[in-house]
């Protein structure tokens, strides 16, 4: 019996081994042109409105389109709308004319009813849309291709909010709208085909796509699906993304560890490292509601103790990957301002100690909540604790996983500072959420409200820059959060992926795969 068992066992193993042994890739035959795109995780959902997660926006912006989008210089330009909206003199009524002949993936033409229903869903479902809903009086269809949006008060961030690919104000086919989307029918250059969790999300070219005619610029202008099939492959392990890129398995790999730059550069001509400048910013949120840092003078003392330069170095290592500067918006952009910059990167333990003593600090621990989901958060937290200690302030590190952090930060009793980061967006009202009311940290003050009201109601872009400076000044004065600096991201593409434009939410229309 045992010999029989063994014999069967051995023969089965041998046959399996023989099956698998032929060397070299086996599947190069007659496949459609396709790109394998290694992403950092499995998308939380495919509902473009359901979350503000970048990954969901990155994937679903190929399927769904908003009324407006951003060009290469972060200007808001029309996408499904025909042109920028016509605003009434009081700035309250916006008339949006839609493009004609735009087809959904089910073949039906997009009309104003789809837009009204979609925006209404967005204002009910999307965290971003809910914020906008507070400003909106009504949305109505005025004919098949015209939508009228009325505001309660002038609200300058409106178009940016409508344009962002995350938590997107996506235009859905009205008949697919449901609390939980089942059919993902949009107007984008790619249509949704299949999702196999932890294996891939598959999009295929939409042959009936109605492209804009303007030349491509950023997310705007002409979009052409040159690759037949896009495969977004979740590869959460960063090393595996690096190895897969080096071995030629992936055409694109998103967000690689900065330590891998050396290997990517040495890999030869088949792999091209991509650095996206000012990709995002880490920020430290302070609990202004309860606990030891509810005291504004003590928050100021902590700000004096902190050295963002050291934190960024610990977080990103290579100086090519970060910038230490007080301006919350990059130089050369409309909102660039150094207001309050003298309070940034002081790293002065003596002054901090004195200030803390004046604020009545008597040794209570400052609880720092951070996660190792992002290693740079953890590294920054270690430096923070050290800098606080030098200033005689007791620090207590609470290192938890990300799921715990996003839960605990909603309870003001549990923490004093938490570490997070955000993408660098062109409009402050998009991030960080602490600029709105009610986000963790619960920052609310008359100075904040006055500065933000002035900023949000000013429709003239030329004047908004100076008004943002005033908001930034309040942030440095009241210390609801600290914008630590800016970091660049590292991604990589295979040489054969051509026409790729580096961007915050990578897109793959207008790109092609040579030799596939």
Partner 1 sequence: MLRFILARLGGTLAVLILVAVMVFALTRLASGDPIALLLGDQATAEDIAQARVQYGLDKPLLTQFGYWVKEVAQGNLGQSIFLQRPVTQALAERAEPTFFLATFAVAIAALIGIPCGLIAAVWRGRLVDQVFSAVAMLGASVPSFWMGLILIQIFAVWLGWFPASGYGDPGVPLIERLHHLVLPATVLGVLNSALIIRFTRASVLDILNEDYVRTARSKGLSERVVILKHVLRNALVPIVTVVGLTLALMIGGAVVTETVFNLPGVGNLVVRAVLRRDYPVIQGTLLVIAGIYVLINLVIDLIYMLVDPRIRV
Site for partner 1 in 149-168 (CB under 8 A): 166-167
Provide the CA 75 distance to its chain's centre, in angstroms. 18
Which of the residues 408 through 437 are near partner 1 (CB under 8 A)? 408, 410, 420, 422, 431, 433
Q: Is 207 in the site for partner 1 (CB under 8 A)?
A: no
| Segment interacting with partner 1, rule: CB under 8 A, options 24-32, 332-340, 377-385, 476-484 | 24-32
Residues 6+ apart with CB under 8 A from 86: 94, 95, 97
Q: Is 247 in the site for partner 1 (CB under 8 A)?
A: yes
Nearer to partner 1, 44 or 457 (CB): 44
Nearer to partner 1, 216 or 235 (CB): 235
Q: Is 317 in the site for partner 1 (CB under 8 A)?
A: no
Residues 6+ apart with CB under 8 A from 174: 113, 114, 117, 118
Out of 79, 147, 233, 474, the only residue in the binding site for partner 1 (CB under 8 A) is 233
The half-sphere exposure of 145 on its side-chain side, counting CA atoms within 13 A, is 11
How many chain residues touch partner 1 (CB under 8 A)? 79
The DSSP secondary-structure symbol of 98 reads B
Out of 8, 13, 375, 453, the only residue in the binding site for partner 1 (CB under 8 A) is 13
Least distance (Å) between residue 410 CB and partner 1 = 5
Q: Is 268 in the site for partner 1 (CB under 8 A)?
A: no
Beta partners for residue 200, in sequence order: 196
Out of 132, 439, 451, 490, the only residue in the binding site for partner 1 (CB under 8 A) is 439
Out of 8, 16, 95, 143, the only residue in the binding site for partner 1 (CB under 8 A) is 16
Nearer to partner 1, 128 or 367 (CB): 128
Q: Is 218 in the site for partner 1 (CB under 8 A)?
A: no
Q: Are the C-beta atoms of 227 and 34 separated by less than 8 Å?
A: yes
Out of 107, 179, 332, 360, the only residue in the binding site for partner 1 (CB under 8 A) is 179
Q: Is 407 in the site for partner 1 (CB under 8 A)?
A: yes
| Segment interacting with partner 1, rule: CB under 8 A, options 108-116, 234-242, 335-343, 358-366 | 234-242
The CA distance from 422 to 414, in Å, is 22
Q: Is 10 in the site for partner 1 (CB under 8 A)?
A: yes
Out of 64, 104, 200, 286, the only residue in the binding site for partner 1 (CB under 8 A) is 200
| Segments in 295-394 forming alpha helices (H) | 296-305, 308-316, 349-358, 375-390
Pairing mode, if any, of strands 93-97 and 86-87? antiparallel
Beta partners for residue 232, in sequence order: 37, 201
For residue 392, CA distances in Å to 96, 353, 387 come to 57, 6, 9
Nearer to partner 1, 124 or 342 (CB): 124
Provide the CA 424 distance to its chain's centre, in angstroms. 8
Nearer to partner 1, 130 or 394 (CB): 130
Angle formed at CA 101 by CA 96 and CA 102, multiple of 5 degrees: 70
Q: Is 25 in the site for partner 1 (CB under 8 A)?
A: yes
Query: Is residue 432 reached through a cis peptide bond, with omega within 30 degrees of 0 on the bond before it?
Result: yes
Angle formed at CA 387 by CA 385 and CA 392, multiple of 5 degrees: 90
Which of the residues 116 through 155 are near partner 1 (CB under 8 A)? 127-128, 130-131
| Segment interacting with partner 1, rule: CB under 8 A, options 51-59, 74-82, 114-122, 134-142 | 51-59
Out of 103, 195, 372, 516, the only residue in the binding site for partner 1 (CB under 8 A) is 195
Q: Are the C-beta atoms of 187 and 102 separated by less than 8 Å?
A: yes
Q: Is 1 in the site for partner 1 (CB under 8 A)?
A: yes
Out of 138, 239, 277, 319, the only residue in the binding site for partner 1 (CB under 8 A) is 239
**Hey, which bits of 414-461 come out as E strands?**
417-423
Beta partners for residue 77, in sequence order: 69
Backbone conformation region of residue 266, classed left if phi is above 0, alpha if psi is from -120 to 50, else beta: alpha
Nearer to partner 1, 236 or 461 (CB): 236
Nearer to partner 1, 180 or 362 (CB): 180
- Output the six-digit token pair for 468: 């943002």
Least distance (Å) between residue 3 CB and partner 1 = 7
| Segment interacting with partner 1, rule: CB under 8 A, options 14-22, 81-89, 478-486, 507-515 | 14-22
Out of 101, 107, 180, 332, the only residue in the binding site for partner 1 (CB under 8 A) is 180
Nearer to partner 1, 62 or 231 (CB): 231
Least distance (Å) between residue 366 CB and partner 1 = 20
Q: Is 399 in the site for partner 1 (CB under 8 A)?
A: no
Which of the residues 56 through 95 are near partner 1 (CB under 8 A)? 56
Helix (H) or strand (E) holding 465: helix 461-478
- Residue window 335-374: x/- pattern of binding to partner 1, with contact defined by CB under 8 A: ----------------------------------------
Residue 284, classified by CB atoms within 10 Å of its CB into exposed (0-12), middle (13-18) or buried (19+), is buried
Residues 6+ apart with CB under 8 A from 513: 33, 34, 35, 227, 251, 496, 497, 498
């Amino acid at each position: 019996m045992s010999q029989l068992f063994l014999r069967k066992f051995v023969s089965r193993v041998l046959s399996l081994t023989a099956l698998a042994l032929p060397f070299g890739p086996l599947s190069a035959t007659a496949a459609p042109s396709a790109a394998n795109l290694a992403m950092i995780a499995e998308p939380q959902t495919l509902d473009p409105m359901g979350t503000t997660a970048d990954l969901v926006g990155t994937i679903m912006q190929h399927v769904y389109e908003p009324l407006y989008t951003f060009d290469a210089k972060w200007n808001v330009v029309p996408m499904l709308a025909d042109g920028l909206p016509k605003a009434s003199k009081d700035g309250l009524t916006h008339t949006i004319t839609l493009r004609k002949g735009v087809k959904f993936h089910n073949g039906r033409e997009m009309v104003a009813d789809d837009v009204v229903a979609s925006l209404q869903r967005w204002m009910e479902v999307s965290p971003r849309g809910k914020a906008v809903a507070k400003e909106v009086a009504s949305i109505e269809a005025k004919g098949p291709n015209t939508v009228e949006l009325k505001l309660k008060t002038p609200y300058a961030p409106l178009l940016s909010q409508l344009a962002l690919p995350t938590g997107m104000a996506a235009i859905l086919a009205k008949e697919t709208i449901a609390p939980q989307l089942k059919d993902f029918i949009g107007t984008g250059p790619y249509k949704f085909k299949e999702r196999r969790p932890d294996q891939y999300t598959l999009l295929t070219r939409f042959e009936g796509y109605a492209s804009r005619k303007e030349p491509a610029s950023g997310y705007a202008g002409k979009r052409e699906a040159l690759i037949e099939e896009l495969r977004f492959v979740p590869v959460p392990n960063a090393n595996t993304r690096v190895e897969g890129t080096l071995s030629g398995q992936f055409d694109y790999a998103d967000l690689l560890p900065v330590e891998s730059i050396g290997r990517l550069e040495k890999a030869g001509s088949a792999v091209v490292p991509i650095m996206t400048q000012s990709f995002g910013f880490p920020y430290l949120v302070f609990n202004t509601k309860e606990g030891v840092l509810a005291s504004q003078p003590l928050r100021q003392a902590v700000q004096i103790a902190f050295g963002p330069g050291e934190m960024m170095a610990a977080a990103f290592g290579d100086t090519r990957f970060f910038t230490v500067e007080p301006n919350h918006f990059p130089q050369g952009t409309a909102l660039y301002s150094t207001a309050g910059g003298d309070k940034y990167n002081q790293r002065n333990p003596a002054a901090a100690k004195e200030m803390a003593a004046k604020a009545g600090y008597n040794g209570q621990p400052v609880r720092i909540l951070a996660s190792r989901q992002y290693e740079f958060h953890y590294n920054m937290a270690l430096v923070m604790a050290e800098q606080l200690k030098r200033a005689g302030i007791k620090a207590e590190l609470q290192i938890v996983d990300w799921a715990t952090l996003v839960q605990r930060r909603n309870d003001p009793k549990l923490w004093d500072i938490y570490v997070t980061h955000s993408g660098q967006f062109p409009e402050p009202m998009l991030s960080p959420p602490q600029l709105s009311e009610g986000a963790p940290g619960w920052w609310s003050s008359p100075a904040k409200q006055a500065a933000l009201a002035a900023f949000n109601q000013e429709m003239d872009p030329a004047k908004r820059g100076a008004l943002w400076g005033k908001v930034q000044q309040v942030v440095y004065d009241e210390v609801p959060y600290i914008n630590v600096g800016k970091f660049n991201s590292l991604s990589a593409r295979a040489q054969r992926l051509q026409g790729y434009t580096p961007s915050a939410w990578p897109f793959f229309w207008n790109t092609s795969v040579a030799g596939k």
